[in-house]
Amino acid sequence: MTALILAIMIGVSGAFIIWTLREPLIARWEKDVAWLEHTIWRFTPEPFNARPYVAGFYLGAIVLLILLVMIFPMPLFGVVIWFIIIPLPKVFIDRAWSKRRRSIDEQLPAAVLQMSSSVASGMSLIQAIERLAERAPGPINTEFRIIAGYWHLGSDLTATIEEAKRRLRLPNFTLFASAILINQRLGGDITKTLDRLAYSLEAVERMRREVHAATSEGRTNIKVLMIAPIIMLGFITVIDPPAVGMLLTRPLGHILLGVAALLTAAGTFWAWRIVRSDV
């Protein structure tokens, strides 16, 4: 009976808190839905309904919080772990977007050269873009599909290219878009402009690959820095299980694990800043 009363009290308290904070919660809900729809739209022009996925994320977050609080002897430690885990989906999505942008940057020289060949063969600029949308490899073909799709819906080609430039925020794509926009306003030999641009972008990409190869050892060291503490903890677990048990069950152990995690994160961050070079 006591447990039932306690459960009812917790449920009523939770409902009261949600009702009191309904306006901020609704605003947060709409913001998350808009963010996810915009994020998915960056990957594909197909329609996407983000509301079920955001609702599933909220439900999963609540269940995860309850499990963490129940698992750890110190509920506060479970809450801290929850706050660390919750941003991870956004981090993974941002990393996927960064990887996609890198792929587009690498594919851009070949795409510009193909566009130049299409225009030289007698196609219009929009026809060359449509051809790239059909025949170019992914993911760059998606960007040209978006441009061609908006043009077919009645959008101005100049505004569509400007929007793609703002969305991607890639220096090479910005250079390509600027060349197209200047040609649209002032005219000129677009074929020769695209040829020169393609060769310039290829030279920049070749230099970027050389820098990437030169810093490969540093990136390997970063991966070792990240994995080594976990491997060492595994070895100590095999050799001296009680010591690891104290780390996981006692407040001082939680503090030591937190300090170790912060030091590892700081070392990884600074090492990554050292080896990261933009061309």
Show pLDDT as tens, one digit a residue, over the chain (279 residues): 554 554 455 555 555 566 565 677 777 778 877 877 777 777 766 677 778 888 888 888 888 877 877 777 667 777 777 777 888 888 888 888 888 888 888 888 888 888 888 888 877 778 888 888 888 887 888 888 888 877 777 777 777 888 788 888 888 888 888 888 887 777 777 777 777 777 777 777 777 777 666 666 666 777 777 777 777 777 777 777 777 777 777 777 777 777 877 887 777 777 776 666 555
* Gap between the Cα atoms of 94 and 54, Å rounded: 17
Domain ranges, residue 61: 2-86
Do residues 108 and 39 both lie within one domain? Answer: no
Do residues 223 and 206 both lie within one domain? Answer: no
Q: Within a domain: residue 94?
A: no
Question: Coil, helix or strand for 44?
Answer: coil
**Amino acid, res. 188:** G
Inter-residue contact 249 to 203 (CB < 8 Å): no
Tell me which of 160, 183, 212 is where a domain ends: 212
- Going from the C-alpha of 165 to that of each of 70, 162, 168, the distances in angstroms are 48, 5, 6
Do residues 144 and 61 both lie within one domain? Answer: no
pTM: 0.62
Do residues 198 and 142 both lie within one domain? Answer: yes
Task: Kindly report the backbone phi and psi dihedral angles of residue 192, in degrees, each rounded to the nearest multiple of 5, phi listed first.
Answer: -65, -40
Interior CA angle at 220 toward 218 and 224, to 5°? 115
What's the distance, CA 36 to chain centroid?
A: 11
Interior CA angle at 35 toward 33 and 40, to 5°? 95
Q: Within a domain: residue 92?
A: no
Say if residue 140 is exposed, middle or buried (CB neighbours under 10 Å; 0-12, 13-18, 19+). buried
Q: Within a domain: residue 96?
A: no
What's the structural domain count of the chain? 3
Q: Within a domain: residue 119?
A: yes
Q: Within a domain: residue 95?
A: no
Do residues 54 and 154 both lie within one domain? Answer: no
Tell me which of 62, 86, 110 is where a domain ends: 86
Tell me which of 212, 230, 252 is where a domain ends: 212
| Short-list 163, 104, 169, 105, CA closest to 139 | 104
Other Cβ atoms less than 10 A from the Cβ of 159: the count is 11
